[in-house]
Structure 1
Amino acid sequence: MMAGLRRVGLRARSWLGRARRGLVRRAHRSHPLAMILLLLFTVAICVLSWALPAYIPTSALIIPLLLGGLLLRFRQMLVVTLVALVLGAYVVSGRAAGLPKVGFVVVLGLAAWIVLAGSKVRSRLGVSGTRGESMLIDLRDLLTAQGDLPDLPPDWLAESAIRSAGQSKFSGDFVVAATRGDDQVEVALVDVSGKGIDAGTRALLLAGAFGGLLGVVPVADFLPAANQYLRRQDWDDDFATVVHVAVNLSTGEFELRTAGHPPAIQFDAWSGRWATRDSDGPLLGLLESPEFQVNKGQLKSGDALFLYSDGMVETPIRDIGRGTDRLAGHAERLVSQGFKGAAAELVREIGGPGDDSAIVVIHRRAALTESAPPPVPVAKPAPRHRRRRRRAALGRTS
């Protein structure tokens, strides 16, 4: 039921996204028409302001300037701005001596300069109007969609949550996931150097590349291939840390590898204890041919595996070891609810506000294989008159 609702929601979001992008593309193709309409709108405002100054103020010329900044290219916006300034100055020049003239022209010119400056920046980036904003929205949605974990069998639960530093929509932490057939899932949590918007552009590039590698190359070759790709970018002082896990959904066996990343932690439902799962591996992008050790284990019924970034456990006053203990302590309280909603709650509670925070929770739900034992019969107390007879009989025998 929930899986069906989720698929319907994803289809609806995809349809809305396509519809929005279609409207934006049609708006972009109509730049000349938009310029003509805005010029007519500017002339109409000036005529009405000349004829009805008490009802239509000349300051309404700000409206076509703002609309032009959203819809037009820089040169077209320059034409609309010049027309608005000339006509606006002509209209106010015919006013009575007591009405403001120079101040209006100065304010209108300042507003036009601000709008033109924004349009010039967008034209230097190769985008115009709302095209830049729509591109950023698409990139943000792409980064968010990369972190959507695939649907797993009913006896498995997988969740992820990411929070960027400063509550930005772009984060240097991201998650990619893929399935191999019906019985294996791969998840990689990546932490790019930097944080927030500064690391968001590199995270977008790496998310697409790593998402294409995951599930295609052999499990043991994912980190070496990702390292080669990162080195080809030739970025200065840029690196990334990764924790990568492949889980067999039939047996619960997993292979975990890290590249300079904090160790994963595993919850053992049988003993109720937490244990770290670490493996040796250098940061991605530093060495030509690094070696990544594997840590093998198994998730039995009720067990859970947590992957997380350093923003969840490390602060200037707390090292990773103490932070990992704190994370396990908070996660301990979520065992009773089967770790449902654990990823979002842990990021909200202990994620560091000054650094990007991300976590992935993989839980193998406990299976009820045995029926509950029959209730033990409880002897009912004898009626009060029988107890009296027994006491009397005991008195006679004594």
Structure 2
Amino acid sequence: MPLLSDTLKRVKPSATIAVTNKARELKAEGRDVIGLGAGEPDFDTPENIKGAAKRAIDEGKTKYTAVDGIPELKAAIADKFKRENGLTYAPNQITVGTGGKQTLYNAFMATLNPGDEVIIPAPYWVSYPDMVQLAGGTPVIVPAGIETNFRLTAEALEAAITPKTKWFIFNSPSNPTGAGYGRAELKALTDVLMRHPHVWVMSDDMYEHLVFDEFEFCTPAQVEPGLYERTLTCNGVSKAYAMTGWRIGYAAGPVELIKAMGTIQSQSTSNPCSISQYAAVEALTGPQDFLPEFREAFQRRRDLVVEMLNAAAGITCPTPEGAFYVYPDISACIGKTSAGGAKIADDESFATALLEEEGVAVVFGAAFGLSPNFRVSYATSDEVLREACSRIQRFCAGLQ
């Protein structure tokens, strides 16, 4: 038995990955299971992007690259930020990692010391607190519940800031809720941050292109240029371009921070996959005509899921502005007993009973820091979603 470090005690495995794996195991055993846990589009990577990867292989672009990204990709990222966000970055202000998760992790590892605090609105992406703890920092969880449509208020942010605050993590549209901050709502937060010059901003914009109705995406350094020098703007090709397995994320920020993040990466993974980087160049610079098609499909699925879940007894499901998640509230289900005899004491027992009795795998809300809720990923077909929601309705109807 190897000797395990104390660091391991500070983190727990990803709950979303655990749910997805559990659903796969049950399917392998012959169970009829619908998995709504995975946060990835069901669409295939567009053909032009796959073609760029094939050309890169044929042209022998299979060697080590610069640690934090090839020049062509950094140029494409700089163009993207200028074109879509009105933000100007030089190549030495840009870093490319093995997925968006690595860029966030590198930033924490490069900046956090013991005692440094990181403000994280809840519900949050499951990895934020654990990455902070791995880097030696202290997560400060600030609830942003259904009463504010899962958006952090300026007052709550102000109250959470202390002299020890190093970072504020901002994610819009959000995983797990899909909640998006409009310009006025974001400006209220950036006004607070302008009063606290020691606080840095980490903006996770991974779902930027997956927004619905009339919602307009904006990012902190765009809304408040005064934050430019202390903002790390993070993004990637995983969600919008259906490239989750290609593992390419990127971030832009001050030169000193980007250089430090590169140092961390140089002693961990070194460069991201060369083939994936050339594919990402095509994703950012090639045709974008499939994005409206993806958005239309996701919006249709959102509307289907929201309508069907709100028709389930005891469930309240807000309508999100983006991403491909809903985060329904199940307060009215707590304390009841399922048709199969399971006691519904919290959202974890709700999710467990739902999986065992109806074969629907969802992620319980406690994993995201706010209960009693559960997350549904609607990144699957209309037919599958309709069947899954029918099973959830049946499960809820059986609660006594």
Q: How high is the TM-score relative to the length of structure 1? A: 0.25
More strand by share: 1
Q: How high is the TM-score relative to the length of structure 2? A: 0.25
